[in-house]
Amino acid sequence: MEADAVKRAAKRKKPDRRLLDLFGRLAPGQQDKLIAFAEFLTARTPGAGNGKPAVVPRPARETVTMAVRRLVHSYPMLDRRQLMAEASQFMAQHALEGRAASEVITDLEAVFARHYQREKGQGKREKDR
């Protein structure tokens, strides 16, 4: 019964925190296997393995929320927390101020592309060191 409670509590944790907790419980050999498996999964994810975006074309009728989901999927290598701070401003302009969805989506696409270019530039500088 107590094991079930621990499992339920673990499921409520944020995925990254849960993964770190599980990783810490593993023996070093098992940690290496988990890292290898994560690298394998990343290589199978379009765009994530090679560091390039898998840009999904913009549909004719798209809501702002759908655009954010599409862009997050297109740029899996970017840190969502950094993006969402800026993206939420555009979403608020649409929801609260009535700004046209097409304009907001265009701005969101520019934000994601800019963050990708910045990330790409930082990665190149680190390789040059």
Q: What angle do CA 62, 14, 80 make, to 5 degrees?
A: 40
Task: Identify how many contiguous H helices and E strands the chain contains and give both numbers.
Answer: 6, 0
Distance CA 117, CA 101 (A): 24
CA distances from 96 to 92, 99, 101, 109, 110 (A): 5, 8, 12, 20, 21
CA 106 to the chain's CA centroid: 19
**75-111: pLDDT as tens digits:** 888 888 888 888 899 999 999 999 999 999 999 999 9
Over residues 1-33, the pLDDT tens digits come to 556 655 655 555 677 788 888 889 989 888 888
Distance CA 105, CA 6 (A): 42
pTM of the full structure: 0.59
Contact call for residues 49 and 43 (beta carbons, < 8 A):
yes
